[in-house]
Amino acid sequence: MSAPAPWRRLLAEFLGTGLLVAVVVGSGIAAQRLSPDDVGLQLLQNSTATVLGLTVLILLFGPVSGAHFNPVVSLADWWLGRRSGTGLATGEVAAYIVAQCLGAVCGAVLANVMFEVDAGMAVTERSGSGVLVGEVVATAGLVLLIFALARTGRGALAAPAVGAYIGAAYWFTSSTSFANPAVTAGRMFSDTFAGIAPVSVPAFVAVQLVGGAVGVLLVLSLYPGAGRAADAVVIPHENGAAPRPEPDRA
């Protein structure tokens, strides 16, 4: 099956990332309004909506672009696939990242408009060594999960698996699992429950990239042939068929 036109793939990444941020920010605003005195309940409502929304978005856009929605995933896809001629080409990964970042900003703005929130940059600072370690863990685990599923021919499970992982990571990581530079940048543009102050963004993005590198190293250690499955990330799509499981050899 031939690959979709490049503009269709970029549109899918733009829309998917934008709607993901709209889900995260919008559900955060709704949770804050519905449960103003219970932060724990707010996080439960926010994480539940994110799990469901992310799962649906992967199913919706995965057949077109692979549903990366995340610069770290796109970079890992390019890096792991470059030697075997699979995954994103250099120009494609740059275009994906631009589309993802633009979509994330638009998604935050859309959520603000829907809930009639005044425009403004977030003021919630998220910092501290523990929080940053949490982002490394969240991002590394996400990359490992995605490529493990693709390499073992289980990419069709990526939608529920990735949704479940992010939902769990909301709770088991100290950072509430942003794990995505584009989403992090987008959430600067909403001064709400889900926002992050611009001053906190550079450190978050830096440790997310570190987490992505850790995830790639773990993938290569556990699944040495993972690069051959880069066309099936995040979900098997028209750019390539899902690989058949086969033994990995170092």
Question: In the chain, how many domains are there?
Answer: 1
Q: Looking at the domain assignment, is residue 147 inside a domain?
A: yes
Q: Looking at the domain assignment, is residue 71 inside a domain?
A: yes
Q: Looking at the domain assignment, is residue 248 inside a domain?
A: no
CB atoms within 10 A of CB 191: 17
Q: Looking at the domain assignment, is residue 1 inside a domain?
A: no
pLDDT in tens, 122-154: 999 999 999 999 999 999 999 999 999 999 999
Render the burial of 135-154: b for 16+ CB within 10 Å, e for the rest.
bbbbbbbbbbbbbbbbbbbe
Give the CATH number for residue 21. 1.20.1080.10
Q: Looking at the domain assignment, is residue 223 inside a domain?
A: yes
In 3D space, the residue among 46, 85, 53, 86 whose CA is nearest the CA of residue 69 turns out to be 53
The region that residue 21 occupies, defined by phi over 0 for left and psi between -120 and 50 for alpha, beta otherwise, is: alpha
Three-class DSSP category at 126 = coil
pTM: 0.92
> Residue 212 and residue 181: Cα distance in Å, rounded?
11
> Looking up tokens 């450190």, which residue turns up?
203
pLDDT in tens, 173-197: 999 999 999 999 999 999 998 999 9
At 86, the amino acid letter reads T
Identify the domain containing residue 85 by its residue range.
6-232
Q: Looking at the domain assignment, is residue 212 inside a domain?
A: yes
